[in-house]
Structure formats: structure tokens, C-alpha cells
Amino acid sequence: MVEFHDDDRQRRNDALDASWQSLCDNLSRASKVVSGDPRSDDPAMRAAGYRYLLNLLNAGLEQVVFSADPDYPEVGHLQDNTKRYATESPDCLFGHAVLDPAGTYRLIGTGGRARYIGLTLYDTLSLYEKTRSEGDRPTDFRAAFKAATGSTLGAISNPGGITLQDNGDFEVIISARPHEGIWLPMPANTAEIITRQYFYDWDGEDPYHVSIQRIDVDGPGPVAEPVTVSTQVESVGRFVDGFAEYWATMYSLREGEPNTLRTQPTSSSSYASDGGHIAYGGGTFEIAPDEALILEVTPPECHFWNIHLGDYWGQSLDYTYRQTSLNGHQAVLDDDGVFRAVVAHRDPGVANWLDTAGNTFTRCVYRWWLTTSIDLPTPTVRKVMFDDVLAELPSTTTRIDESGRRAVLARRRAAVLKRYMR
């Protein structure tokens, strides 16, 4: 235990107290994103908003405290079913660690099988800080999206540069200098890494246990030093306040005509590493209790695609107990190769139902992952009366009865709990 002189003791204690007060002040400011929104006149909407801030607080603690030591790194969950924000993908297990660009790290994945494994290096994950550092906030969604994806410095993946061992495990060295084996070069401005495991067959694929070790440092383990703790406490508050405001801005720029989807330009190759194109798209849906939406698209040739719903605040809708998302493995295409889904508050009796979980306003996100072309489709959406849904669909569209739905949801719940070991 380090001993402090009286003057130094008081100075450090004052700094710790001030950082805690800063955390409280930032959380208070973040609450204005919720309480100041006109839609929060509805108590249910306000409750969801405060639940959203708790999700951000949980994520902030993970990102800037518990997986934020570059000397003794641990891979924490950046987003999962207890950290739902920015309409994250229900098909992905996200990991996070902080890196020192002068260090050498060994990252190992064991015991799993995933449709896609990706490691991406970033100069920052505080995207709101990145946009501020470049001047005023973006005035359109494309500029905001460019800032969000422009933090990437390099990546490696499977499919791509990560070769799996015979048992499916893998090992990657991350460093500035070249290294034997599978190597991910680390630029001088690297600050963080995100790991992504995308799952297609939720029943048949298993999450990897991903661990990371700094192999050029041999020490006794981390110590909670006053300066470090002060910085972390203050950073948690900035994370919650900054992300709440940033994503409110992002969503306001993204909103256009309701029940209309838009596909964004493809992201840079450094985002996924193997040369395939990645594009996101989305929009907002609004339907009354007696209405439904029919969504149609012919999926492009790609390694992975999905579509999912979130609430007004950007929390992905519960995907453990409800079918609020579908991916290319789970979806059923019609005989003409078209994916037709029904967005509705009640079960319409078709396989491709996207459950709104009772939200009259939902956000929709879809992604085309590792495509062979940059000419990518945008789903069409049309509103119909709920009672007319079946008549509006081809007669060959796959139906599902009540017992079939129960079986699908039971498998879904088991797969999500297995993924997050809950």
C-alpha cells in the first residue's frame, strides 16, 4: 500500500471526490436527453429511456473501467443483452479491451464456432469525442456514420486472415513489429480493440472464449491507484452523457420519412479486413395496433445478413424471448428468392415475423456483411391492415402455427442464454 504525506493525501482525496461529483453531474446531464424529449410525456417511454441510460452506465463501466487496463487486459462484453444501445446486433457477441501501441499482445479464441470472427483496432471508441474533435457535430447522418466508422485502424477476420486450427481455435499476435504466426499490425495511434463473433445458426454455433495477454510485460497485477480511479470515474460519466447526446443526434439526423429504409455507403475494408464490403441500412417504423408492415428484399450475395428492431432510444428490442430479429440462416425466403417479413404487434402466423414488442415506434437496422458488390439492395416497406396481411403475401409464404412459434422461441431463448452464459 502506498503511503501519502498529509498535503498529498488531501490533494488526492479532493481529486477523487471531484471525479465522483463529475460522474454525478454527467449522469444528471444525460437524464435531460430522456426527460427533455417530447415523447417522454408517456411514462412508459420515459421508463424505457431511463432503462437505456442504465444500459449505457453498465456499458461504460465495462469499457472504461473493467476492460481498460492495457498492461493487464481482459476482454469485456462491450454490448450484450444487458448492454443494449446504438441498436446493436442481436447476432453478435462483442468484446473489448484497451491496448498500449507499444505493447505486444497474444489473443486466443478457444472452444467455439462462429459464422464470423473479427478483430478491429480503433484509435477511439468515444465516437462523440471524435466528431467534436473534428469541429462541429455532423449535419447529416452520412457524415456522422463516416465519423463513427472512421476510427478503425485495421482488422483481421475469419473468413480472411485468421486461420482456424483443426479444433477450430485460433491465436493472433497484435503488435507494432512483425511477428511469426497470424499477426495483426498495430498502428502507433491504436487505443482499443473490438472483437466480434457473429452467429448465424444460433442452435449449432458456440461462442469462443476470447482472452488476451500482454506478453511483453511481467508484473504483479493491476493496482487501483488514486489517479487511475479518478480518471475512470470521470470517464464513466462522460461516456454516459456523451453517448446519450451523440446517439440522440445520430438518430435525429437519420430520421426521415417513417416506414422507409435507406442503405448507407459501404464501410472501408479496414472494418472487416478480408476485402469484402460491409453496408448498414435502416430507418424508423410507426404502426398502429391494427396495422402491419410488409418488408421485402432479395438479399445480396454475402457472408452474413440480418435485420432487427430497436426502440425509440436505440435499445435493441428483447431478442431472448421475442423474435425481434432475423438473420440469413433463420429467415425463410419465398420461392422467388425474396425475403418477406411482417412487422406487427401480434403474431401474423408467418415464419418471418418481426415482433415490435408493443412499440408503436421502432428503429430498424439491417446489415449486408462481406458482400461481393457495392451495389446493394434496400428493402421496400408497405403498410397494410393487420387483418389483410395473409392476403397481401404470396400463397407460398411459409406459415407457422402457435406450437411452431413456441418451439422457435424456446430455441431462441436457450441459444441467447448459452451465448452470454447466463
Return the ∠ at Cα 37 (arms to 35 and 42), rounded to 5°: 75
Does 117 or 149 have the greater pLDDT score? 117
Q: What value does the mean pLDDT of the chain take?
A: 90
3-class DSSP state for residue 43?
Answer: helix
Give the mean model confidence (pLDDT) for residues 320-335: 98
Q: What sign results for the dihedral spanned by CA atoms 383, 387, 388, 391?
A: positive
Q: What is the pLDDT of residues 267-326, one digit of tens each?
A: 766 677 666 788 999 999 999 999 999 999 999 999 999 999 999 999 999 999 999 999
Is the pLDDT at 132 greater than 80? The verdict is no
Is the pLDDT at 72 greater than 70? The verdict is yes
Is the pLDDT at 131 greater than 80? The verdict is no
pLDDT of residue 141: 54
Q: Per this entry, what is the length of the chain?
A: 422
Q: What is the pLDDT of residues 351-398, one digit of tens each?
A: 999 999 999 999 999 999 998 888 999 999 999 999 999 999 999 999
Cα-based distances in Å from 26 to 29, 62, 132, 313? 5, 17, 17, 18
**What is the rounded CA–CA span in Å between residue 65 and residue 58?**
10
3-class DSSP state for residue 222?
Answer: coil
**What is the rounded CA–CA span in Å between residue 75 and residue 207?**
13
How many other C-beta atoms can be found within 10 angstroms of the C-beta atom of residue 162?
Answer: 20
Q: What is the pLDDT of residues 159-212, one digit of tens each?
A: 999 999 999 999 999 999 999 999 999 999 999 999 999 999 999 999 999 999
Q: What is the pLDDT of residues 89-114, one digit of tens each?
A: 999 999 999 999 999 999 999 999 99
**What are φ and ψ of residue 421, in 5° steps?**
55, 50
pLDDT of residue 133: 45
**What is the rounded CA–CA span in Å between residue 367 and residue 263?**
9
For residues 362 and 343, is the Cβ–Cβ distance under 8 A?
yes
Percent residues over pLDDT 90 in the chain = 74
Give the mean model confidence (pLDDT) for residues 406-412: 98
**What is the rounded CA–CA span in Å between residue 46 and residue 197?**
32
Is the pLDDT at 412 greater than 50? The verdict is yes
Does 72 or 7 have the greater pLDDT score? 72
Please measure the distance between the N-terminal and C-terminal CA atoms of the chain and give it in whole angstroms. 36
For residues 65 and 232, is the Cβ–Cβ distance under 8 A?
yes
Rounded-to-10 torsion of CA 54, 60, 62, 65:
-130
Is the pLDDT at 36 greater than 80? The verdict is yes
pLDDT of residue 148: 59
For residues 104 and 216, is the Cβ–Cβ distance under 8 A?
yes
Burial class (CB in 10 A: 0-12, 13-18, 19+), 86: buried
Q: Which among 404, 421, 419 has a CA at the least distance from the CA of 93?
A: 419
| Grid cell locating 33 | 436527453
> Who contacts 325 (Cβ-Cβ below 8 Å, separation ≥6)?
89, 90, 91, 306, 307, 308, 309, 316, 317, 319, 354
Does 251 or 25 have the greater pLDDT score? 25
**What is the rounded CA–CA span in Å between residue 223 and residue 344?**
51
Q: Which among 149, 129, 53 has a CA at the least distance from the CA of 137?
A: 129
Is the pLDDT at 6 greater than 80? The verdict is no
pLDDT of residue 139: 54
pLDDT of residue 4: 61
Question: pLDDT band at 225, cuts 50/70/90?
Answer: confident
Percent residues over pLDDT 70 in the chain = 90
pLDDT of residue 151: 76
Does 276 or 79 have the greater pLDDT score? 79
Q: Which among 30, 49, 29 has a CA at the least distance from the CA of 39?
A: 49
Helix axis angle for 226-254 and 141-149, nearest 10°, is 150
CA atoms within 13 A on the CB side of 81: 18
